[in-house]
Structure 1
């Protein structure tokens, strides 16, 4: 016998399943996208998922298109609804043919790619500033940027790092999946990534001078630690936005004075038009690593992505010859100081 769920109940049940398999960030993304669908369904008087038909799904797409969304945003919102419908079909809440009736837009390669990234020239200027600053060297903003840029890791992976995952002698960081700190691809995302000596020096300074000697709720020793233990995603984003503001290096490109600009405050850093999110750092890092001559396969292994994903979203050097395969030892010398 089939079950009956309201759109809101279906969303909540779907999210409870996702919490067992995905990171908190991914679950929040699903929640944000599906809540729009729930509000629309409730406004349309749809009380049961079993009422939905192809016409309704096309109407929802039209409503979202009317919101003038970016192509990638529209596709993401509709894909989330399709995944919800796939889940509902698997538990006999909706007809098994219904998920096929949602029309997911096909994007061009340019539309799929996110061009908002930390530019290598800007990363070079910022990291040169931090490395030469007595005041800022080894501060959380600096060390987060060092790790994010030189490993291309996702924010969730950097947050999951424990003190023991840093091996200064081997010049490595080990990314491990240990719930409740999760890697995007779980056990398949585990890897050891080589880092350069300047990055090691920055991390060592942070550990010696800035890191609080605390454990998290699971008794682990996080690499990054605040007064309350392992920092939240919000804290990491604040470090990212504040740490990439160009006014640390040059005159503000927007005509503001750093001393009086509201965007230099912790909770307002994201409003700076030139600051960059952790994902934008990752995007810039992957592109930079490719341009330094690392093969797509090596970069994919370092950043925990497939080679196809790298080609689709990050491979900007389309007019260059295929990058030559390099020895893995090269990654131990991969550093922004060698940026050319």
Structure 2
């Protein structure tokens, strides 16, 4: 940062951006902070290309609208633009708080209002395919309890976020009780909702059998840089988020358990390689596995409240963003028992 100034409005947009990231380190998890860093970087770089914007104090509502139109012209998803403009508002609220911009400027950010269909993605790991894949790994003499197998079992049967799965330690798993404890630990493995995200999650016996086999014969006995014993462990200790993500992509390549839906030969297909599994159109990310799991749990008869507690969310969020059951699924799997109660026997009528 340049030499101190008496008037904060004379700071550059980038200088205030860096101050914002520093100031929010205590408020946000590392993952949330990275999201803000990524979303705001585009705005900072755009502002630096504008001749009329020399300092943060030059920003106006017109500039904010121009930036939104600029991003819309890049054919981005509506959710991407909404997220970026929402981040700009938070950034400008900070800037207004230190008197670097006009106090009314944050209210001039035009955040798009989206339909629910625009705000959510329907891409998920369907339950039928999830069970075919899981059964394949459970029956496989070579892939049973492999890294990709255990990652899929944990992701599907807990519905947890990627960061929460990565945060699990050996002591968080209680085989006899069939429980996984998700705990918020700083600085390396925070949970999305910090201490409020801590909870025990019960898993079925077959899942515990997979975990036990993984711990006995596959897991690397390595500690992480903080001296902790991660449940999921690689050659270097606790795997990076990208590594765990790769395991899930590999686990969900459809040709593992069924013919390729894209008419590719698995023996020569580039998508079956470790570093390219995410390129397969039918492989699924950890978030898409989470979405499919939540939908399946709801279809299985669990209430919104029960599922929300298991996956560290809240019922309204599940209804709006994660519940991807179509109308037929809702009727057949959730409401049928109630419909049956509406039947009557004519012989019982007076």
**1:42-121 residue pairs with structure 2 within 5 A?**
42-45=48-51, 46-121=53-128
CA distance in 2, matches of 1:27, 1:171: 34
- 233-242 vs 23-32, greater mean Cα deviation: 23-32
TM-score relative to the length of structure 2: 0.89
CA distance in 1, matches of 2:312, 2:98: 32
The C-alpha deviation readout for 1:14-36, integer Å capped at 9, x for no partner, is 22234333333322222221111
The C-alpha deviation readout for 1:33-84, integer Å capped at 9, x for no partner, is 1111111111113232111000000100110111111111111111111111
- 16-25 vs 253-262, greater mean Cα deviation: 16-25
CA distance in 2, matches of 1:261, 1:30: 37
The C-alpha deviation readout for 1:100-158, integer Å capped at 9, x for no partner, is 10100011111112211111111011101011111111011111110111111000000
CA distance in 2, matches of 1:23, 1:260: 41
* 1:192 aligns with one of 197, 200, 219: 200
Q: Which residue of 1 aligns with 2:34?
A: 28
TM-score relative to the length of structure 1: 0.91
Residue ranges of structure 2 left out of the alignment (5+ in a row): 1-5, 336-350
CA distance in 2, matches of 1:171, 1:110: 37
**Aligned partners of 1:294 and 1:323 also within 8 Å:** no
Q: Which residue of 2 aligns with 1:11?
A: 17
**Aligned partners of 1:295 and 1:323 also within 8 Å:** no
- What number of residue pairs does the alignment pair up? 324
Residue ranges of structure 1 left out of the alignment (5+ in a row): 325-340
| 1:239 and 2:247 matched | yes
Q: Which residue of 2 aligns with 1:129?
A: 136
Q: Secondary structure at the match of 1:193?
A: strand
| 1:285 and 2:293 matched | yes
* 2:185 aligns with one of 178, 181, 187: 178
CA distance in 2, matches of 1:317, 1:255: 28
**Aligned partners of 2:304 and 2:318 also within 8 Å:** yes
- Determine which structure has greater relative contact order: mean sequence separation of CA pairs < 8 Å that are 6+ residues apart, divided by chain length: 1
CA distance in 2, matches of 1:229, 1:154: 20
**1:130-145 residue pairs with structure 2 within 5 A?**
130-145=137-152
**Aligned partners of 2:78 and 2:114 also within 8 Å:** yes
Distance 1:317 1:234, change over 3 A: closer
Q: Which residue of 2 aligns with 1:331?
A: none
Distance 1:203 1:61, change over 3 A: same
**Aligned partners of 1:176 and 1:183 also within 8 Å:** yes
| 1:224 and 2:232 matched | yes
- 220-229 vs 259-268, greater mean Cα deviation: 259-268
Distance 1:137 1:19, change over 3 A: farther
Bigger Cα Rg: 2
CA distance in 2, matches of 1:149, 1:143: 10
Q: Which residue of 2 aligns with 1:333?
A: none
The RMSD of aligned alpha carbons is: 1.7
CA apart distance, 1:317: 4.7
